[in-house]
Amino acid sequence: MDDVAVAPTARELARASQAAVGAKDRAAWLALFAPDAVVADPVGPSPLDPEGNGHRGLAAIAAFFDNVIATAEQVTFDIECSYLCGDEVADVGTIRTTLAGGTHVAVVRGVFTYRSDGVGRIAALRAYWEIGAVELVPA
């Protein structure tokens, strides 16, 4: 019997992405993305993406990591439910980001979607959350 490699599901890619972010492992996180992938976090115009087009391509995704993820003391994910459909998954949950200096935590509740390219890489990561609904709490 031949060994056939099976591409990871979108849910498995999501968990790998979340683990890499939690570990602040830039190389591991970037390795999960297809070359033409897009990260929209959050979806639409925001202070993190004024034009609302998302961060497209590995260089832009790396810059997002450097400017947003790397500046945090810690990032944790609490996924309450996850819905896998075809090459996509929608995770409903909370992201807690301990801000630089460690005195405050930004609590973001939302829906986080990941789409696989079908061959084991993330083609799109889209985060649905509202800037005005972020809670800033003491660490």
Within a domain: residue 2?
no
CA nearest 29: which of 43, 15, 40?
Answer: 15
Share of the chain above pLDDT 70, in %: 97
Q: What is the CATH number of the domain that holds 115?
A: 3.10.450.50
Q: How many domains does the chain have?
A: 1
The runs of H, that is alpha helices, within the chain are 10-22, 26-31, 58-64
Within a domain: residue 51?
yes
The distance in angstroms from the start CA to the end CA of the chain is: 54
Within a domain: residue 5?
no
CA nearest 121: which of 18, 33, 20, 21?
Answer: 33
Within a domain: residue 4?
no
Within a domain: residue 82?
yes
Within a domain: residue 109?
yes
The identity of residue 97, as a single letter, is T
Within a domain: residue 130?
yes
Q: What is the pLDDT of residues 87-128, one digit of tens each?
A: 999 999 999 999 999 999 999 999 999 999 999 999 999 999
Domain holding 30, by residue range, is: 10-138
Within a domain: residue 31?
yes
Q: What is the pLDDT of residues 46-57, one digit of tens each?
A: 999 999 999 999
Cα radius of gyration (the chain): 15
Q: What is the pLDDT of residues 57-96, one digit of tens each?
A: 999 999 999 999 999 999 999 999 999 999 999 999 999 9
